[in-house]
Amino acid sequence: LGSMKARGLFLSPHTTELNILSSYAYVNDSLWTFRPDNRILMDSSYISIENFFLYKNAEHLLINGVLSDNPEDALNIELNNFNIESLAFLLGDRKIDFSGYASGELELSNLQKTPNILVELLVKDFAFNNDHLGDLSVESRWDALEKAFRVNLEVIYHGNVGYNKPIIANGYFYPEREEDNFDLDIIIENLKMSILSRYMEAFASNFRGLASGRLRLDGPTAAPELSGTARLVRTGFRVDYLNTSY
């Protein structure tokens, strides 16, 4: 929903110029505005985007660059203070909630042949299932030989007397596979057990405490499998059927 105004020019039989004029759109009940000084060129062999700027208060998304068969061309997407809750609608009814403010860059090039995709993001005040975990740092690059995203991820929690990293994950994500999409090694240190409450609510509630250890994330995206060993500290939960706390 919103108001979209655009102007198009046919520069040649194969080239079209498009300008998005003063426009706005509602995304997840938030008003976003397009800045009108943009230019999009579309040709049979490339697409060029200049100053595609979408903003809401201090948040913005900026796209510049070229996508073509030339590996030297690249499309850059810049995020600044972008509230990732705006993307919640993409998850549908899945039992996942997240929030935080993302800043960083995505770079795309040579997508038709040997894709090069680079992601560098920092999500401030990252929360998962309503539990504040810290600042989330994500670095990912497309590995053409593996046909997978190489993922380096860590959560940094800043407390009153210092900081720790409750989650460090490294490995691969295979988006094109029908099975075995995940291949991630995960180290957890003083990770809040409460983030699991939503997935255990069928038999237990009020999860609390901290967990440290080494885990593996394998399996398909539809049913990922988490395995490993962890040390639990000050941990408890309530089995609702028995009306008993442990």
**Bigger pLDDT: 203 or 157?**
157
- The CA distance from 212 to 136, in Å, is 18
Instruction: Flag whether pLDDT at 119 surpasses 80.
Output: yes
Least confident of 92-96, 144-148, 217-221, 230-234: 92-96
Binned at pLDDT 50, 70 and 90, residue 44 comes out as confident
pTM of the model: 0.82
Q: Is residue 224 pLDDT above 70, yes or no? A: yes
Predicted local confidence at residue 94, as pLDDT: 55
Lowest mean pLDDT, pick from 193-197, 200-204, 228-232? 200-204
pLDDT in tens, 141-197: 999 899 999 999 999 998 888 889 999 999 999 988 988 999 999 999 999 888 877
Q: Which residues lie across from 24 on neighbouring strands?
A: 3, 33
The per-residue pLDDT for 92 is: 56
Kindly report, residue by residue over 73-105, the tens digit of the pLDDT.
999 999 999 988 877 665 555 556 789 999 999
